[in-house]
Amino acid sequence: MIIRSKAPLRLGLAGGGTDVAPFSDLYGGAILNATISMYAYATIQPRTDGKIILHSLDKKTTLEYPESEFLELDHQFDLAKGIYNRIVKDFTQKPLSFELTTIVDAPPGSGLGTSSTLVVAILGAFAEWLNLPLGEYDLAHLAYEIERVDLNMAGGKQDQYAATFGGVNFMEFFKEDKVIVNPLRIKPMILNELAHNLLLYYTETSRLSSSIIETQSKNVINNVASSIKATNNLKLQAIRMKEAILKGELDRIGEILDFGWQNKKKMAKGISNKDIDNIYKTAMDNGASGGKISGAGGGGFMIFYCPNNTRVKVVEALTKLGGEFKRYEFTTSGLTTWTI
């Protein structure tokens, strides 16, 4: 028997950072994101020899452990170990023997929610194997708890829900980890045009998002007015983006992205740097009407809205800076699991 799962990565289009505590607890957050045709994959093969084998095809690493109720966290496969430990604690109350293989279509630290999406994919594979009673909200919340509470990894809440639900969603975040996912019904013509005009550019760098997120959270705790105002403006950006997409007012997308980017940089140090600023200016000088970093900032993927036929000129200009463009399509489905 083979159990497989896949969960889509996401583009954060507006409101990024408002899902991070304590801001979301104090002021409430709002994000608009969309899943794309890049995935995190997980495969589980049950074993009968009392072994636990973990494969990461990305890192070309394999680790083997004896069957146990708890796997020690040692910065090697901690995401998979944290999920396994929680599965045993909450559901099986006994050790499992299996082989887990994972791979992700984007590198870690790239800003597309890779870590959280991988957690959803692995958790989904376990749920499929063990027939766990988890609905979409249950699974997304459990993924969030494993990553943010059990593993104490800094970050927000949007990625787990985006990967689980899929599609284009306007998400609202409240205190006590309450999340409401509002799927948006968008005409195919609008979605196709958005995908055509919205370029995904990899800067060929990755970053440790946790340090940026920790600084962002400290600014809220310390009541740094400029940071809080900027984050509230990103909530406003999410509302504006939702309205523009639903109404098909695509000419506003670039302006709304730029509004968010100018405020995003005020949330915490390290979100932008000279290289990122140069990439952004080059894109704007060559016809883009707005853009942003995908994720916490500091590196990884950037997106640029290129209206009319400006995408070719933007691609040519940014390719000279050493980055790489990734082709993608928007997806309508989230976590998918199956058994062979």
- Per-residue pLDDT tens digits for 166-188: 999 999 999 888 999 999 999 99
Q: Which residues contact 41 (CB under 8 A, 6 or more apart)?
A: 4, 5, 6, 102, 103, 104, 121
The CATH class of the 3-185 domain is: alpha beta
Active-site hit among 19, 105, 159, 258 = 159
pTM: 0.94
* Model pLDDT, residue 223: 80
* Model pLDDT, residue 221: 86
Active site residue 138: no
Cis preceding-peptide flag for 22 (omega within 30 of 0): yes
* Model pLDDT, residue 206: 63
Span 37-81, pLDDT tens digits: 999 999 999 999 999 999 999 999 999 999 999 999 999 999 999
What are the residue ranges spanned by the domains of the chain?
A: 3-185, 188-325
* Model pLDDT, residue 215: 79
Measured in degrees and rounded to the nearest 5, phi and psi for residue 253 equal -60, -50
Tokens found for residue 240: 């504006």
Give the torsion sign (CA, 176, 180, 181, 186).
negative
Concatenating the DSSP letter of every residue in 193-262 gives: HHHHHEEEEE-S----HHHHHHHHHHHHHTT-HHHHHHHHHHHHHHHHHHHHHHHT-GGGHHHHHHHHHH
List, in sequence order, the alpha helices (H) in 13-77: 23-26
Note whether 120 and 335 are within 8 A (CB).
yes
Q: Residue 94 burial (CB < 10 Å; 0-12/13-18/19+)?
A: exposed
Domain 188-325 has CATH 3.30.420.40: no
